[in-house]
């Protein structure tokens, strides 16, 4: 569908108040196509975390895709896709995603972005931890796994791209509060191959930030333990800005 801002969640739309999501699995494919005037955000289980949220033993098996077109004023828009969660944003809150040794929280669904885009944040678990509106975001990821492939092959890319197997982007509140985003990740595995661009494409990408676990942190406080990436990562396009892999 088209329209303005488009948020799509496989199980939950948005957590406006404290919420627990337990033993939930999405099997349905989630997709967007057409013009949007603001943002496309897709989460396999929950599209946006806005308040304290505990997610336990949750899974996405559906394919997630976006093919946006420029709005009527000719502006390309932001695309955020997370295998489990689209984004964590705005309010001071804590997000806990907890699996277990024999039941990881998982994404197996393929993620695909095409069309006309500006900024991109994509990940197998959570695409963006965005503390640009309020300082104090905390994210705890424990026993999480992504095996879904991530493919980006767009017609236009006017903004930066942040793509990670587990987390796409951790963003700060402001330059005066550089450590406003805290992320603790343990027992995380990514085996989903990541490909940006194609040899036949003439699209000029801006800065590319690509990581097997994390695409890019912006002065966040990070703690990692027992993490593993076995995925193949490729950038096949043309970059006019920095290329960070």
48-95 pLDDT, tens per residue? 988 889 999 999 999 999 999 988 787 788 999 999 999 988 666 789
- pTM score over 0.85: yes
Per-residue pLDDT of 135-172, as tens digits, reads 667 899 999 999 999 999 999 888 899 999 999 998 76
Position 237 scores a pLDDT of 80
The answer, yes or no, to whether residue 1 has pLDDT greater than 50, is no
| Strand extents, DSSP E, 24-84 | 25-26, 30-35, 39-43, 46-49, 53-56, 59-60, 64-69, 77-82
Determine the pLDDT at residue 177: 57
pLDDT at 201: 86
Whether 23 and 55 have beta carbons less than 8 Å apart is answered as no
The phi and psi torsions of 74 (rounded to 5 degrees) equal 80, 20
Going across the sheet that includes 12-15, the strands are: 12-15, 46-49, 85-89, 126-130, 167-171, 214-217
Model confidence pLDDT, tens digit, residues 6-59: 899 999 987 777 899 999 999 999 999 998 877 999 999 999 988 889 999 999
């Amino acid at each position: 569908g088209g329209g303005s801002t488009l948020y799509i969640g496989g199980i939950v739309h948005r957590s406006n108040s404290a919420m627990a999501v337990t033993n939930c699995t999405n099997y349905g494919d989630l997709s967007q196509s057409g013009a949007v005037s603001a943002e496309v955000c897709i989460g396999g289980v929950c599209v946006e975390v806005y308040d304290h949220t505990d997610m336990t033993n949750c899974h996405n098996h559906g394919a997630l895709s976006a093919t946006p077109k420029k709005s009527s004023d000719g502006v390309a828009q932001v695309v955020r896709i997370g295998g489990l969660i689209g984004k964590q944003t705005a309010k001071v809150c804590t997000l806990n995603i907890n699996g277990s040794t024999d039941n990881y929280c998982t994404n197996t669904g393929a993620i695909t972005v095409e069309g006309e885009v500006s900024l991109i944040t994509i990940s197998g678990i959570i695409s963006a931890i965005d503390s640009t509106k309020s300082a104090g975001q905390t994210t705890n990821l424990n026993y999480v796994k992504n095996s879904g492939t991530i493919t980006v092959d767009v017609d236009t890319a006017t903004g930066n791209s942040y793509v990670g197997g587990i987390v796409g982007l951790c963003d700060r509140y402001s330059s005066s509060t550089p450590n406003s985003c805290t992320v603790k990740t343990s027992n995380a595995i990514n085996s989903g191959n990541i490909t940006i661009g194609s040899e036949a494409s003439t699209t000029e990408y801006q800065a590319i930030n690509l990581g097997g676990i994390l695409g890019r942190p912006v002065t966040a406080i990070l703690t990692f333990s027992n993490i593993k990436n076995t995925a193949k990562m490729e950038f096949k396009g043309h970059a006019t800005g920095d290329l960070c892999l």
